[in-house]
């Protein structure tokens, strides 16, 4: 059984043990403020390959390198623009990933063979302590099977990955719940582009940078992604997730069915579990993955969820729900 150690921050024996495992090419799941990551030495191609194998992750999907500070990030790129400096000073440590032209030191497997690298400085004491203890950037996509629900606590990691991970550092539930905002700055002279919406909304980025584009859609199967989270299907529970208009009446379809409402529960047929979430994008973002994990563990086969409002505040939640409800591909 995969070992699980409690971890609170710098100086703990758990951090030193985890760092030694990572330095030896092992896999360690650890918390960030967004979701739990599956970590490996980001400059060791063989260790990063273990991440792909453990997750069943397509080779076309790059992984984010987690760094301790700006200096560590600058060593991984060929160009660190003024925009990146302003963003790092404002949002790092925090849930913002920057995509920049990669230096030759970044292994091709990290970049999925592309020319750029995704970098983030996480705002969690355990994550930062671990990166500093290793002394190298950590490759760390979400610690779950590919396309499935991201983990927001250690139990989710153990349930999804089992023996594929050498050690799990448990620091309780994550605080943000949704993955980082990803911003592409890789092409000089081209307007910055959000590749994945997240906790930092476009308006906050534009306050520093001016106009920012928003990429929409899905990368074709087999095509190299510039960043994680760009595939059509992602973040999906085992239950079949369907999005419906608020207040939509549904009928019992047999089996275990749940209806997740925002703000107010409509009348529901007997036998359908009603779940009420607040009409608050931040609170829904924090709660979403944990709720879907709970429904999966309880054996629900179908989950109907009300589509959130089409506003910027709900952008990240709508993105995750849209990909989680997409049809499964072979």
Mean pLDDT, the chain, whole residue set: 95
Identify the CATH number of the domain defined by range 3-214: 3.90.870.10
Q: Are 165 and 76 in contact (CB under 8 A)?
A: no
DSSP H helical segments within the chain, as ranges? 13-23, 45-55, 70-74, 82-91, 108-111, 125-134, 154-161, 202-209, 281-297, 315-324
- Convert the pLDDT of each residue in 61-106 to its tens digit: 999 999 999 999 999 999 999 999 999 999 999 999 999 999 999 9
What is the structure's pLDDT at 2?
Answer: 78
Rounded to an integer, the average pLDDT of 199-210 is 97
Task: For CATH 3.90.870.10, list the domain ranges present in the chain.
Answer: 3-214
Rounded to an integer, the average pLDDT of 235-262 is 89
Distances (CA, A) of 175 to 55, 119, 253, 309: 23, 20, 35, 23
Q: CA 200, CA 206: separation in Å to the nearest integer?
A: 11
Contacts of 220 (CB under 8 A, 6+ apart): none
Query: pTM for this structure?
Result: 0.96
What is the structure's pLDDT at 1?
Answer: 60
Q: Is the pLDDT of residue 236 over 70?
A: yes
């Amino acid at each position: 059984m995969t070992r699980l150690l409690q971890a609170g921050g710098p100086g703990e024996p758990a951090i030193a043990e985890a760092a030694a495992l990572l330095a030896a090419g092992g896999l360690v799941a650890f918390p960030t403020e967004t979701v739990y990551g599956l970590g490996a030495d980001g400059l060791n191609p063989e260790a990063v390959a273990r991440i792909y194998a453990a997750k069943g992750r397509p080779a076309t999907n790059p992984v984010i390198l987690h760094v301790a500070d700006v200096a560590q990030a600058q060593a991984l790129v060929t160009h660190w623009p003024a925009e990146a400096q302003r963003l790092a000073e404002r949002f790092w440590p925090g849930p913002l990933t920057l995509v920049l032209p990669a230096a030759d030191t970044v292994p091709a497997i990290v970049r999925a063979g592309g020319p750029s690298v995704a970098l983030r400085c996480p705002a969690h004491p355990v994550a930062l302590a671990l990166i500093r203890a290793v002394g190298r950037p950590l490759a760390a996509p979400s610690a779950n099977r590919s396309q499935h629900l991201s983990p927001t606590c250690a139990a989710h990691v153990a349930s999804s990955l089992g023996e594929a991970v050498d050690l799990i550092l448990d620091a309780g539930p994550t605080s943000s719940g949704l993955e980082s905002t990803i911003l592409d700055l890789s092409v000089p002279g081209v307007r910055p582009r959000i590749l994945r919406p997240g906790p930092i909304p476009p308006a906050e980025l534009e306050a520093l940078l001016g106009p920012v584009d928003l990429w929409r859609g899905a990368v074709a199967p087999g095509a190299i992604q510039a960043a994680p989270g760009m595939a059509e299907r992602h973040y999906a529970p085992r239950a079949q997730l369907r999005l419906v208009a608020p207040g939509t009446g549904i009928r019992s379809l047999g089996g275990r069915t749940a209806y997740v409402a925002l703000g107010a529960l409509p009348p529901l047929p007997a036998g359908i579990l009603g779940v009420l979430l607040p009409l608050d994008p931040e609170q829904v973002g924090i709660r979403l993955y944990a709720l879907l994990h709970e429904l999966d563990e309880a054996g629900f086969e179908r989950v109907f969820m009300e589509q959130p409002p089409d506003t910027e505040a709900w952008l990240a939640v709508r993105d995750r729900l849209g990909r989680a409800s997409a049809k499964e591909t072979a």
